[in-house]
Structure 1
Amino acid sequence: MFLLLESSWIFLTPTCFLIFHIIWVRNFASGKKYRITKMSKVQPNPAKTALRAEIDSRLAALTQEEKKRQSEIVFQKLINHPWYQNSKRISLFLSTDTEINTMPILDHIRKRGAAAFVPQYAGGRMKMLKMDFGDEDYMPETKHGIKQHAKEVVREDAMESGGLDLIIAPGVAFTRSGDRLGHGGGYYDKYLSNARANPDVAPKVVAVAFDCQIVDSVPMDAHDQKIDLVIMSDAKPNPEKAALRAEIDKRLAALTEEEKKRQSEVVFQKLITHPWYQKAKRVSVFLGTGTEIDTRPILNHIRDRGGSAFVPQYIGGRRMRMLRMEKGDEDLMPFTRHGIQQHPRDLVREDAMENGGLDLIISPGAAFTRSGDRLGHGGRYYDNFIASTRLNPNTAPKVIGVSFNCQVVDYVPMDAHDQKIDEVLFSE
């Protein structure tokens, strides 16, 4: 509708979010008078504005190192979650500097053969368009610094070709129960509402966040969409675990070198006569430090009997690989800051999980129960690795812990991510 008011033309659209004040105008063509309203902007929810400002301050205080650390923990939690593992079509956002780094997630989706989709914001709407290899190198940025497909680039639209199994959502703030505060554009709320129109095919929605983005309450309006799960690092140490590690450290410090040698020899004999070990052709073993069972005789025995030995390489993000040990490797391997020998990054060795898997994992730990509860050293490397090997129960390796007697306790505090082991060998 075109209207004349004080010799100015005004075009009214049905989608304007505006409030009217009564004024008189005249339709130029008919001469009839109409009463309409003058337009002014709707005020934003002040509680949301205040919370966004508070979260902005918290995010600004995070160092790059801390953002990297939390992003790596969130990545591991996500890729080990059954919703992610069962999803073949996944949407995710391409993160900015104030968000959890999602590039490792994109790479992982591709490596596991799933389809990745990312947002394209245009005209008040959002689409999820498929990411082809290399797309991220050519995508322009919006005025908010968000990468997205250019308008002229043709890519599969997720909702027009099979929908989505999982949506990984951004946000400003979240509660643990799933309330979400977005950035104010309403794009994800509208998209989630449409995706949930048919509950039978609605995707799961997981948000990824820094710890400082988790709050007790989020102001929610009628149109705001809850999410199904929030993943954060939540990396505060478990006090029970910290106390038990301190106690085990004292016990280990009291062991003489002779006693450690004696118990290591007993454990070695128990292991090499164990049927799981005798049947295993591909065995991973850690290279023990001075406070662990001596595993060098185990490594030599695996080689002498014609088996393949693999040892950990810690690669960050609470991830590790098991790389094959060739004769003489231990003489070339540097020590980490924790005194653990591992292959240098530039030395190419077979990765066990990319070439046949493992039959047996010989695991370290700080403490164990006889029933297989295990307390690690706090990095979650073995928990994450063992979990990844158990995705297919038909090919999962057996896991044996080896320890000194003083490391065997009646109770180990276990969190959701902690992996039980199949058996513990100690000299007793």
Structure 2
Amino acid sequence: MSITPLPEQKKALRSRLLRARRAVPPDQRQELAARAHGHLLVSRVWREARAVALYVSLPDELDTAPLLDAAWHAGKTLYLPRVRQQYGLMDFVAVHNRDELRSGPFNLLEPLDSLPGFGPEQAGGDFCPDLFVVPGVGFDRQGRRLGFGGGYYDRFLSGVRQAAADTPPSLVGLCYACQLLDALPAEAWDERMTHICTDEEWLCL
């Protein structure tokens, strides 16, 4: 009996979950996103966080724009990702408003090049988010995450976990309910979330 290699399992699941995400009716996306935001914004990890690392969502991802506004309105330090020229690597940059964003790779809005960025090796010093809100193609109920396959977040979060071992940040996987599975295949370097937030559930893991 043949066993499907793990990379092929992930590839098949990635295609399935991306189809499910794209199939979320456009007229329901705002309502579903608002439900998920409601779970996150009343959580202890959000309320107590002084610095939050977020991301600018893709068009078919659960919208994060209201979360950016909520962080700015609450006076939190807001960090957003900016990819490096080296494939698979990125920094997080403190951003104060949307005027400090520009169009970058992967059709994403990114912080301006002129703004200083922090890599995972600087975690625990000047760069110390209390909370990372993390995108994903899918998540499971044990906190496993399936990304796009580039390894950007796994590399960064692994570095953060090692550099900030004494005060690890909370890691919240954010997605639609259709992207949450009972179990996902995982490899040794796959970073696990501490919480999962969907339009239906808030999971503390």
The TM-score normalised by the length of structure 1 is 0.43
1:170 aligns with 2:124: no
1:220 aligns with 2:183: no
1:133 aligns with 2:93: no
Identity percentage of aligned residues: 25
1:196 aligns with 2:157: no
State how far apart, in whole Å, the 2-side matches of 1:147 and 1:101 are. 13
1:205 to 136, 150, 171: 171
> What count of residue pairs does the alignment treat as equivalent?
191
Specify the code of the residue in structure 1 equivalent to 2:158: S
State how far apart, in whole Å, the 2-side matches of 1:108 and 1:102 are. 10
2:115 to 143, 154, 172: 154
Cα-to-partner distance string for 1:381-423 (whole Å, 9 max, x where unaligned): xxxxxxxxxxxxxxxxxxxxxxxxxxxxxxxxxxx9xxxxxxx
Corresponding residue SS for 2:103: coil
Aligned 8 A contact 1:177 1:229 in 2: no
Match of 2:19 in 1: 57
Cα-to-partner distance string for 1:261-303 (whole Å, 9 max, x where unaligned): xxxxxxxxxxxxxxxxxxxxxxxxxxxxxxxxxxxxxxxxxxx
Match of 1:337 in 2: none
Corresponding residue SS for 1:100: coil
1:103 aligns with 2:65: yes
The TM-score normalised by the length of structure 2 is 0.87
For structure 1, which runs of at least 5 residues remain unmatched after alignment? Answer: 1-42, 236-415, 417-428
Give 1:299-378 correspondences, 5 Å limit. none
State how far apart, in whole Å, the 1-side matches of 2:183 and 2:115 are. 40
Aligned 8 A contact 2:143 2:194 in 1: yes
Report which structure shows greater RCO (CA 8 Å, sep ≥6).
2
Match of 2:46 in 1: 84
2:144 to 179, 195, 204: 179
Aligned 8 A contact 2:104 2:110 in 1: yes
Specify the code of the residue in structure 1 equivalent to 2:186: M
Specify the code of the residue in structure 2 equivalent to 1:135: D
State how far apart, in whole Å, the 1-side matches of 2:127 and 2:59 are. 32
State how far apart, in whole Å, the 2-side matches of 1:175 and 1:80 are. 22
Deviation at 1:156, TM superposition (A): 5.1
Deviation at 1:217, TM superposition (A): 1.7
